[in-house]
Amino acid sequence: MAIRKVGVLGCGLMGSGIAEVAAKAGFDTVVREVTIDLMEKGLGRLRGSLDRAVEKGKLAAEDRDAALARLRGTTDFTDLAGCDLVIEAIVENLDEKKRVYAAVDAVLGEGAILASNTSSLTVTQLAMASRRPDRFVGLHFFNPVPVMKLVEVVRTLMTDTSVLDEVGAFCRALGKEPVQCRDNSGFIVNRLLVPYILDAIRAHEEGVGSIEDIDRAMQLGCGYPMGPFTLLDFVGLDTTYFIAEIMFEEYREKRFAPPPLLKQMVQAGRFGKKSGRGFYDYGKR
Ligand code: CAA
Ligand code: NAD
């Protein structure tokens, strides 16, 4: 397999999880954040996740230490030089993503693969913003990355077939199951999941049930592991809002439009579990 060194852009909820599973699977991994403080916060989350796996007896302490030894945090794009695959997992914003592709393209070798973990932007427009549209692919991981088995692999009209083979083998080396998707906004999972979680907010706005009762109903009535409001807090209300805006812009269908309550929660800084408060209160972070 050609992929040995992996770069990850962003060490938030998703980037820290992707860096964790890559380092654990034996890849030399470099993760880039904007500031040292954000990097430390992300690496703290990652270390906590590995420590919990050791405490639960799912990971040997020496394997945790070996994974951490393969992992490096940086704020400097030049540290991504020599990466065979770079997975971008920064904020869901087209302009921000375009900016990092320009910076990272400048340090990567010609054969390197660039991938995006975007939830809702089309991969075609991202690929065209890079210098390597034939070696650009969507790799959509799911939250929490160490647990969720799926990766949606998104090809565009330009993607080289050999790249699909390489990233497919990479996903399997992480213990994940790759599923091929066409390049439509939201791919498979978010095309179905996003209208559902947005509709839960609308149902609550319309007085159908309380946040707690809607969650309990979907957990106990449908066997879902989390109710929609717990899931919204878990994904991040800011990220969900960006996703909804992008999908609504793409499809012009009401089911993708962000409900007013979601917008107001984001304006109020209630981003969910990661900020300490969303639909539920998690105590000060
Ligand atoms: N990191 C690592 N491991 C974790 C974890 C984390 N953040 N959270 C939970 N786990 C592990 C636990 O260690 C536990 O492992 P064992 O069974 O081996 O001991 C297992 O997951 C189950 O955890 P818990 O018993 O603590 O809790 P749970 O049974 O409630 O499961 C959950 C937690 C796996 C998160 C489960 O609630 C779940 O599957 N929720 C739905 C998640 C989901 O839908 N994700 C997709 C979001 S959408 C998305 O990602 C796409 C997008 O673009 C927005
Ligand atoms: P997050 O807010 O937790 O983390 C984003 C991180 O990116 C932040 O730490 C931020 O500092 C960093 N960042 C911003 N600009 C950067 C730059 N130029 N270089 C490096 N880092 C930068 O968000 P997240 O939930 O991890 O989402 C990241 C991406 O993954 C988004 O595209 C999102 O749509 C996608 N995604 C999210 C989920 C989820 O459940 N949250 C699931 C699948 C995919």
pLDDT band at residue 263 using 50, 70 and 90 as cut-offs: very high
Give the relative orientation of helices 189-205 and 260-267 as an angle to the nearest 10 degrees: 90
Site to substitute for ligand 1 among 55, 92, 147, 174, most atoms within 8 A of C-beta:
147
Over 90: is that where the pLDDT of 284 sits?
Answer: no
Q: How far apart are CA 67 and CA 150, in angstroms?
A: 22
Output the residue whose Cα is nearest ligand 1's atom 37.
Answer: 225
pLDDT digits (tens, 9 = 90+) for 73-105: 999 999 999 999 999 999 999 999 999 999 999
Annotated catalytic residue, options 152, 166, 185, 204: 152
Q: Is 119 a catalytic residue?
A: yes
H helix or E strand, kind and range, residue 181 = strand 177-181
d(CA 11, CA 273): 16
DSSP 103-143: HHHTTS-TT-EEEE--SSS-HHHHHHTSS-GGGEEEEEE-S
Contact residues of ligand 2, CB 6 A cut-off? 9-15, 32-34, 38, 89-92, 96, 100, 117-119, 141-143, 235-236, 239, 243, 274
pLDDT band at 2 (very low <50, low <70, confident <90, very high): confident
**Annotation says 204 is catalytic:** no
pTM score, whole prediction: 0.97
Which residue among 140, 166, 185, 204 is the active-site one?
140
Identify residue 285 by its one-letter amino acid code.
R
Q: What is the mean pLDDT of residues 177-200?
A: 98
User: Residues 96-129: pLDDT tens digits?
Assistant: 999 999 999 999 999 999 999 999 999 999 999 9
